[in-house]
Amino acid sequence: QGRHKAFSTCFPHLAVVSLFISTGMFAYLKPPSISSPSLDLVLAVLYSVVPPAVNPLIYSMRNQELK
């Protein structure tokens, strides 16, 4: 049960970090031939807006588990 609780606490953080790193890597390592303004906009939103927006959700779930 302790491992399950630790995994359930760490999983959302790992998901956000992996999203942050993978979109950043894709944005900088993609070939210029597949560059489009809409793809760049989606990557920018995923890279800069989604991780900070998800952090309050993660901490609220964690606080409910602690209560």
Report the pLDDT value the prediction gives residue 65, as an integer from 0 to 100.
57
How many of the other CB atoms lie within 10 Å of CB of 56?
A: 9
**Rounded to two decimals, what is the model's pTM?**
0.61
Helix (H) or strand (E) holding 6: helix 2-29
Block residue for tokens 């409910």: 64
C-alpha span between 27 and 21 (Å, rounded): 10
C-alpha span between 46 and 20 (Å, rounded): 7
Report the pLDDT value the prediction gives residue 31, as an integer from 0 to 100.
79
What integer is the mean pLDDT of 45-51?
A: 82
* Torsion over CA: 30, 27, 18, 53 (sign): negative
